[in-house]
Amino acid sequence: MKKSILALALVLFFGCVASSQTIPHDSLYFGQTPPGSTPRVFAPGIICLDNRFEGTGALSPDGRMFCFTITNGNFSSQKLFFSEYVRNKWTKPDTICFSKTFNNLEPFFSYDGKKLYFSSDRDKKTKDNRRDFYYVNKLRNGWSEPVKLDTSINSAYTEFSFRQSKNGTVYFCSNRPGGNGMVDIYFAKPYHGKYGNVSNIGSVINVKGGYSGDPCIAPDESYIIFPSVRTAGVNNSDLFISFNENGTWTEPVNMGNLINTKANEYGPFLSPDCKYLFFIRHDGINGDIYWVDADVIKKLRKHD
């Protein structure tokens, strides 16, 4: 009996050690060669497939899981897919278990990797409320049931693109009343384990009558990258960046012709080590995840 217990303990111990091991360098990012200053499609043939529309994704802090959005051309069907590095290889991307019935999109991992946040339409109590924020806890085998976030963040209107800084401040988008544009960026600081009052990030970023969405906040809140339509008559969104200078956001800067094209660029997110910037490029026909060396951010800071 004692030998059986010891054997079981050893299996569990070495299984935990194996699952917590650092992913080999040549397997990071699905074994892709990192990009330079020119954006490239991320993991073509693995994540980004022909005749499929990939949306915003997220890498777990340990680099062993990639979760991303699959959507159709008119955004009426959106599911979360994931791939995990298990037994020295990446699994084939497939629908995550809690995303098979409802529309779920825009994943974000907590910094400890224990929670996955996302937007969902699983609660349709009001006509205008098409998306709210939920999270699931990472279990040993799978995920918990989705839990809805505080009502201070979830309103009777649409919320999307949940992001969080390392100090716990949440940044997100909403079309709730009282904003400057059609969609604005908001933030909420943590207070005793819950989120406090929601505040508009301000008119420097949220342009009157325009659109500012999908906030990608630096872990230390030193900068924010977001897609925006800031000029009347312009139909496509570009990525902009604003820097935090002593608590004040600088005038947003267009991220330039290498990042922005005639297509729509949106859905920015960072690699866990902040070395790479990911974003979506959608030209009305194709939609893919692109990635680029985050040195582009440093260069924009020097010239802002």
Position of tokens 């059986």? 4
**Domain range summary for the chain, segments of one domain joined by +:** 40-302
Which long-range contacts (C-beta less than 8 Å, at least 24 apart) are formed by 160-163? 160/105, 160/106, 160/119, 160/131, 160/213, 160/214, 161/56, 161/106, 161/119, 161/213, 161/214, 161/215, 161/267, 162/106, 162/108, 162/117, 162/118, 162/119, 162/133, 163/108, 163/215, 163/216, 163/217
Residue type, 210: G
- The two tokens of residue 303 are 């010239």
Given CATH 2.120.10.30, say whether it is the number of domain 40-302: yes
Pairing of strands 276-282, 184-191: unpaired
User: How would you write the pLDDT of the chain (304 residues) with one tens digit per residue?
Assistant: 444 443 433 333 334 333 445 789 889 999 999 999 999 999 999 999 998 999 999 999 999 999 999 987 777 789 999 999 999 999 999 999 998 888 899 999 999 999 999 999 887 664 456 789 999 999 988 899 999 987 789 988 899 999 999 999 999 999 999 999 899 999 999 888 788 889 999 999 999 988 999 999 999 999 999 999 987 656 789 999 999 999 999 999 999 999 999 999 999 999 999 999 999 999 888 899 999 999 999 999 865 5
Under 8 Å between Cβ of 287 and 54: yes
pLDDT at residue 303 in the model: 56
pLDDT at residue 19 in the model: 42
Handedness of CA 51, 236, 280, 303 (dihedral sign): positive
pLDDT at residue 125 in the model: 61
pLDDT at residue 8 in the model: 35
pLDDT at residue 72 in the model: 79
